[in-house]
Amino acid sequence: MKKELLMGTALVSTLGAASVAEAVTATMSGNHQTGMEFDSPTGGTDTNSQQNDNNFTVSLSETTDGGMTISSSFKVMDENTKEDYDAGFTLAFTDGSKLDLLNAGNASGSHAVSIPGSAGAEGVATTSTMVAPTGLDFMTGSTAFGLEYHTAADFFADGLKASISASTDSGAAITATYRSDSHVAIGATYVTDLGDTAVTIGGGYSEVEGSKTSTPANDDTGGFHVGLSAVTGDLTVAVGFADGSVAGVSDNGSDEYTAEVVKAGVKYVSGDLTFNVGVASGEADDHAIGGDDGADDSKDVTSASVSYAVAAGVTAILGYTDVESSDEGVSSDDGSAWYIGANMTF
């Protein structure tokens, strides 16, 4: 009987040990940025407010015996305890390519060139009926049931990387509010040297299919963008252009808009100081489905900032933004804003 008990104990211990998996590798990162914004809208009342931007991210990863890395992450962000648990899984292969699964995003947006602008948290609020965008990837979209494949570096040609993404219907019930059903998108980034200058060219195309009850959208969300960035020593100069359409907006009964965006910016690093200057101009024709109201919304943004590296991971920021906008061709919500604060990263 004693031998049987010993054998049983050994068997249970062995099975228990075999069923315990080793923990994946977890790393933590984030930032805490806080400061004061001084907003001066034209024709309105000046306001002062504290602006906070706090992000805490946990990244998880592990490598299989075959060399493939499996990773995911989750984030807690902002002052309102908002969480982002929507990240799927990324499979990184030994040849340098990657595959994002679930909430993979849009390949076009992945290759939008970064255009310098103010590093501060200031801005001038505009009316909800003014829909002119100022970002290069305003026409991208996807559903949670999607994937994105990223090629390895030097795909097809030295300095070239590309992505392709697709998503399918989420299965949600169709309502009077437009929703995305699926998308396909492609994007690419090419990096090369011209003498002492590193040149990056990025672009992408996206097409989203959607649906709603009653009248379907005349123009689904989609379009293209292209950008160029040149880095010479401590100086970065970048420009970009985007053109597309967006469905599903709610602007006084409007349901869609077509838009164009032009952006340009300069960044210069001098020791512990970083200087940013950027401009963005967007125009949008928002209208009821299938219509054309003939009057555009517009938004012109000029911004600049000076950042100073106080210590490792600590940056002081002074930013300024000026906005001129119009809603249906009528001037609205012009003004300027200042920001002074600091960002701490870990």
- Which tens digit of pLDDT belongs to each residue from 191-237? 999 999 999 999 999 999 888 777 666 678 899 999 999 999 999 99
Tokens standing for residue 255: 């349901």
Q: Are 246 and 226 in contact (CB under 8 A)?
A: no
Low-confidence residues of the chain: pLDDT under 70 = 1-22, 77-86, 215-218, 250-254, 289-294
Strand partners, 251: 254
The predicted structure's pLDDT at residue 292: 63
Which DSSP helix (H) or strand (E) runs through 105?
none
Sequence letter at residue 266: V
Percent of the chain topping pLDDT 70? 86
CA 163, CA 148: separation in Å to the nearest integer? Answer: 7
For the domain made up of 32-345, the CATH class stated in words is: mainly beta
CA 295, CA 133: separation in Å to the nearest integer? Answer: 16
Please write the tens of the pLDDT for every residue from 241-282: 999 998 877 654 557 888 999 999 999 999 999 999 999 999
> Residue 22: is it exposed, middle or buried by C-beta count within 10 angstroms (0-12/13-18/19+)?
exposed
Q: Is 135 helix (H, G, I), strand (E, B) or coil?
A: coil
